């Protein structure tokens, strides 16, 4: 058991590869052999399968990946196409949720529809605001134009203008100019408020007394329209001080 040595060799016997193991000592030589042709043929078959199968598997994987990617991106392309078709003229349209979509695409579609709804509301407000502003400015401009045309006709007919008539004309034009000035100031006020650049003149105000005084003005306006305005203020608010711009606060409360 102590002097046995072993060695391994591959030899060719009758055109067949044989793997031979030799164990020996001083008394014995033992040789064991096994043909490896079958193993080599099996390995060659496996190598051939790899040479053919790996390229086929790669081609199938690439084509399958492209197909899956296109299938996954098709709903996104549909959503993007519908979003591109929605413009300022048709903001009322909404993106239809493609069938069999996952939660992420549904969330994306809902977010886009919500954004379009806000845009539609903003456009409607801008359109209404422009229409109202145009209407408000049209009236004083028409009055000023009429006054000027009347003065021109009078001047052409009599070659002179009575001082009283001139004063009346100028006063009428000035009233309309001041009215237009107030309208423009209101537009600038709204623009600054939207941009959060509205300057405020803050001062301490007793909110209870202030609102109670405004309720008297509100009651007068309500009475002119056949309405009744009741002011119900909490007693615990009496004496409370707040920092506010009284001019802006008056506009807010009276608008309400």
Helix axes 207-224, 246-255, angle to 10 degrees: 40
Torsion of CA 34, 35, 41, 42, to 10 degrees: -20
**What is the band of 5 on the pLDDT scale with cuts at 50, 70, 90?**
low
**What is the band of 167 on the pLDDT scale with cuts at 50, 70, 90?**
confident
Within 10 Å of residue 39's Cβ, how many Cβ atoms? 12
**What is the band of 243 on the pLDDT scale with cuts at 50, 70, 90?**
very high
Q: Is the pLDDT of residue 161 over 70?
A: no
Round to whole Å and give the CA distance between 135 and 112: 34
**Mean pLDDT (whole number) for 127-134:** 76
**Mean pLDDT (whole number) for 27-56:** 85
pLDDT of res. 169: 76
> Is the model's pTM score more than 0.85?
no
List the single range of 3-7, 16-20, 25-29, 100-104 with lowest mean pLDDT: 3-7
- 7: CB partners within 8 A, 6+ apart: 21, 22
pLDDT of res. 195: 67
Q: Is the pLDDT of residue 89 over 70?
A: no
Output 14 or 228, whichever has higher pLDDT: 228
Say which DSSP state 235 is in.
Answer: G
Q: Is the pLDDT of residue 74 over 80?
A: no
List the single range of 57-61, 66-70, 117-121, 188-192 with lowest mean pLDDT: 188-192
- Over pLDDT 70: what percentage of the chain? 91
């Amino acid at each position: 058991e102590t002097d046995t040595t072993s060695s391994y060799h591959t030899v060719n016997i009758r055109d067949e590869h044989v793997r031979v193991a030799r164990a020996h000592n001083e008394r014995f030589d033992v040789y064991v052999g096994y043909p490896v042709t079958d193993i080599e043929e099996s390995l060659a078959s496996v190598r051939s399968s790899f040479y053919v199968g790996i390229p086929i598997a790669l081609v199938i994987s690439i084509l399958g990946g492209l197909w899956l990617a296109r299938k996954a991106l098709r709903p996104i392309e549909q959503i993007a196409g519908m979003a591109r078709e929605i413009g300022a003229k048709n903001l009322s349209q909404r993106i239809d949720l493609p069938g069999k979509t996952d939660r992420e695409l549904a969330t994306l579609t809902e977010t886009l529809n919500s954004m379009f709804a806000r845009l539609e509301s903003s456009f409607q407000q801008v359109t209404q605001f422009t229409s109202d502003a145009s209407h408000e400015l049209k009236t004083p401009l028409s009055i000023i134009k009429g006054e000027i045309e009347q003065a021109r006709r009078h001047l052409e007919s009599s070659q002179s203008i009575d001082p009283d008539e001139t004063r009346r004309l100028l006063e009428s034009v000035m009233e309309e100019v001041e009215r237009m000035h107030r309208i423009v100031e209101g537009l600038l006020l709204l623009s600054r408020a939207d941009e959060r650049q509205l300057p405020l003149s803050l001062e301490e105000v007793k909110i209870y007394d202030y609102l109670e005084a405004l309720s008297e003005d509100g009651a007068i306006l309500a009475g002119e329209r056949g309405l009744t305005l009741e002011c119900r203020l909490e007693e615990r608010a009496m004496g409370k001080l707040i920092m506010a711009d009284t001019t802006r606060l008056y506009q807010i409360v009276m608008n309400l």
